[in-house]
């Protein structure tokens, strides 16, 4: 009976989540099960609030996204936003509109992925809302983080001459998605790496905190919709432009190098950090942060445009071809 | 072209929301437009967090809910949760998955309703997420409120002998919904009152604060899913039971009195407050709070069951027939 509810009633479902996701954490006065949750902000800290939807057939496809990955990715998106401010994630609320065709097994997998990532980042699930719907399943993860007063890094602080850095390798998630969508199961280690990067992206909280605490980044954001789109947003917020060096951009290893650059420039959902550093501080950025490579890919310019220099030394305008819900439609 | 996006791109849409919904409020460091919002909690206060979904064909029907009412109701649900804790609403985030068939006019109406209520309660819209979807429109409103340390009222505090109170009149919203769903436009003043109660419910923040500040309520929640369902939740959280006096329950004026009692017991979405008061403090509860009637409808019992005495003096078990997403399905 695929249409029978996976739980007896809403209380039963909420209790199940509560049993699995609750934990005692600092500052939490009241968790799941009342009209609202209560938290006490630590003194000397600001609170960071972010919310990210994950919608079936928009952000995920049940055909090739395992439920565990869907749960992981739903929370990873929000943790990445906290990382991009230089903060530490603490408390999550979960709004879950479950399609009537959803099985208890699917929900178990979904929550296993979400709770595993929550545990890894010491995030407590403190509340939420649930509904059953006829249409697509949709998830909204609300995340509260903390950051010491005045330390949060915004998008608007980049200035002419600042060096532009990215963490990790860009375009892996888009490559992994392409492989999954065409039914490829990952034949080579490189393909498996790309698929894993897509299904289980790792938010870069430790790097974000390192940069904010040491006041190294003048601006920061996470790369969720693709470098060309997200860098444009950073430039617009900062009232500046950027010039990138194409050959320096850390692209995936695929046989076609122009395809690799396209993936790195326009592929979204890598959840790596994009940050700018004043020239005087650029030497303080290590080449690796733990095992994570940090790469200088260009510089901020006064001229308010996005440009890219190619391997032959010519400079071209850089189009924003990343993800935009309203433009694509 | 109903399928053309109502906005050029996501940035355009976000900017439009920002222009309409932003306001300078105490404690807000950074609003819409970055990876996340930043707030500073006032000293001596706890933060209240709540999230409520409003989903097309579950919580509203475009056939008879005007967009303005949908926006109002989406925010009212969350404000009511803050009211039920005895707090003051402050900041909202809005996740909006807009159906592709949505017009700019519909969105304008929706936001007009949401922003009008936000202004009334001095709530600032500080962030959110947007997507366009093929299926139903869904809205998730995340609301942050404040409450002085240790003053928040929970569901779990009711004890044997406590008096049970409700604010306002119950069942009006369900009656209004029935009228709207059957195409009735509201012929009589009573019908128009019921329709208004359904479309534009008023969260009872002032009452919630009065009860929490003066430590009058031992337990409190809002009536969103119907008295019989919500009282059961309060009883379960408090480890107690309740006995209600049927004739005392403030029901709508409809010709059939048993229908009126059913509406008051099981009709949801009134967003009135349900609260319990220790016997020694019951005389401190006024009969009216401003223009809002407060009615004692029963008493908490040691026996863990819900019962109701009828007009002929007999006592019957009270079934929970309010709204439950998982049970109904």
What are B259-275's pLDDT values in tens digits? Answer: 999 999 999 999 999 99
Return the higher-pLDDT residue of B329 and A235. A235
> What proportion of chain A, given as a percentage, has pLDDT over 90?
77
Dump pLDDT digits (tens) for A69-83: 999 999 999 999 999
Q: CB within 8 A of B119, min separation 6: which ones? A: B23
Environment class of residue B288 by beta-carbon count within 10 Å: exposed (0-12), middle (13-18) or buried (19+)?
Answer: exposed
Bridge partners of residue B49, in order along the sequence: A37, B144
The pLDDT tens digits of the residues spanning A144-184 come to 999 999 999 999 999 999 999 999 999 999 999 999 999 87
Chain B CB contacts of A134 under 8 Å are 57, 136
Is the predicted pLDDT of residue B248 greater than 70, yes or no?
Answer: yes
How far is residue A114's CA from residue A119's CA, in Å, rounded to a whole number? Answer: 9
| Count of other CB atoms within 10 angstroms of residue B291 | 6
Nearest CA to A149 out of B149, B123, B41 is that of: B41
Q: What is the pLDDT of residue B33?
A: 74
Q: Tokens at residue B175, please?
A: 């009656």
Distance between CA atoms of residues A156 and A220, nearest Å: 8
* pLDDT band, very low/low/confident/very high, at B329 (cuts 50, 70, 90): very low
What is the H or E stretch that residue B74 is in? helix B67-84
pLDDT band (50, 70, 90) for residue B12? confident
Picking from B165, B284, B126, the residue whose alpha carbon sits closest to that of residue B216 is: B284
Is the CB of B34 less than 8 angstroms away from the CB of A154?
yes
Q: Contact at 8 Å (CB) between A179 and A301?
A: no
Q: What pLDDT digit, counting tens, does each position of B153-211 carry?
A: 999 999 999 999 999 999 999 999 999 999 876 689 999 999 999 999 999 999 999 99
Q: What tokens were used for B28? A: 């807000």
A315: left (phi over 0), alpha (psi -120 to 50) or beta: beta
Q: Are B169 and B265 in contact (CB under 8 A)?
A: no
More confident residue, B85 or A24: B85
- In terms of C-beta density within 10 A (0-12 exposed, 13-18 middle, 19 or more buried), how is residue A289 classed? middle
With H, G, I as helix, E, B as strand and everything else as coil, classify residue A83. Answer: helix
Distance from the B263 Cα atom to the nearest Cα atom in chain A, whole angstroms: 21
For residue A81, what is the nearest residue in chain B, using CA coordinates? B35
**Does position A268 have pLDDT exceeding 70, yes or no?**
yes
Instruction: Chain B: give the shortest CA distance to residue A64, in Å.
Output: 19
Stated pTM of the model: 0.91
Locate the chain B residue with the closest alpha carbon to A45: B40
CB–CB contact A93 B58 (8 Å): no
- The CA-CA-CA angle for residues A185, A186, A192, to 5°, reads 130
Best of B3, B220, B326 to substitute, by most chain A Cβ atoms within 10 angstroms, is B326
Q: Which of A125, A124, A121, A120 is nearest to A96 (CA)?
A: A125
Band (B21; pLDDT cuts 50, 70, 90): low
Contact predicate B91/B37, CB 8 Å: yes
Q: Which of A46, A84, A222 sits opposite B39 (nearest CB)?
A: A46
* Helix or strand holding residue B209 (H, E): helix B205-213
What pLDDT does A1 receive? 33
The rounded percent of chain B whose pLDDT value lies above 70 is 93
CB contact under 8 A, A85 and B33: no
């Amino acid at each position: 009976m695929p249409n029978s509810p996976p739980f007896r009633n809403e209380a039963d479902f909420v209790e199940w989540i509560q049993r699995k996701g609750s934990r005692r954490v600092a500052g939490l006065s009241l968790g799941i099960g009342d009209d609202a949750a209560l938290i006490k902000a630590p003194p000397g800290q600001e609170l960071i609030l972010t919310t990210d939807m994950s919608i079936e057939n928009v952000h995920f496809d049940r055909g090739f996204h395992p439920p565990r990955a869907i749960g992981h990715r739903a929370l990873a998106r929000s943790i990445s936003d906290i990382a991009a401010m230089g903060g530490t994630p603490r408390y999550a609320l979960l709004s879950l509109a479950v399609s009537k065709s959803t099985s208890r097994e699917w929900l178990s997998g979904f929550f296993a992925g979400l709770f595993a990532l929550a545990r890894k980042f010491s995030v407590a699930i403190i509340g939420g809302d649930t509904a059953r719907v006829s249409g697509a399943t949709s998830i909204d993860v609300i995340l509260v983080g903390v950051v010491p007063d005045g330390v949060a890094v915004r998008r608007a602080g980049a200035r002419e001459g600042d060096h532009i850095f990215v963490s990790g390798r860009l375009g892996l998630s888009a490559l992994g998605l392409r492989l999954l969508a065409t039914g490829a199961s990952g034949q080579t280690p490189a393909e498996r790496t790309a698929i894993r990067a897509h299904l289980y992206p790792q938010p870069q909280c430790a790097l974000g905190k390192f940069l904010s605490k040491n006041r190294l980044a003048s601006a920061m954001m996470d790369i969720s919709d693709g470098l060309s789109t997200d860098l444009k947003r950073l430039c617009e917020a900062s009232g500046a432009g950027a010039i990138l060096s194409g050959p320096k951009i850390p692209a995936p290893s695929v046989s076609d190098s122009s395809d690799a650059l396209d993936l790195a420039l326009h592929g979204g959902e890598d959840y790596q950090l994009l940050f700018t550093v004043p020239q005087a501080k650029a030497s303080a950025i290590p080449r690796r942060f733990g095992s994570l490579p940090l790469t200088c890919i260009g510089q901020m310019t006064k001229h308010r445009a996005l440009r890219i220099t190619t391997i032959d030394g010519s400079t071209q305008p850089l189009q924003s071809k990343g993800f935009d819900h309203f433009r694509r439609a």
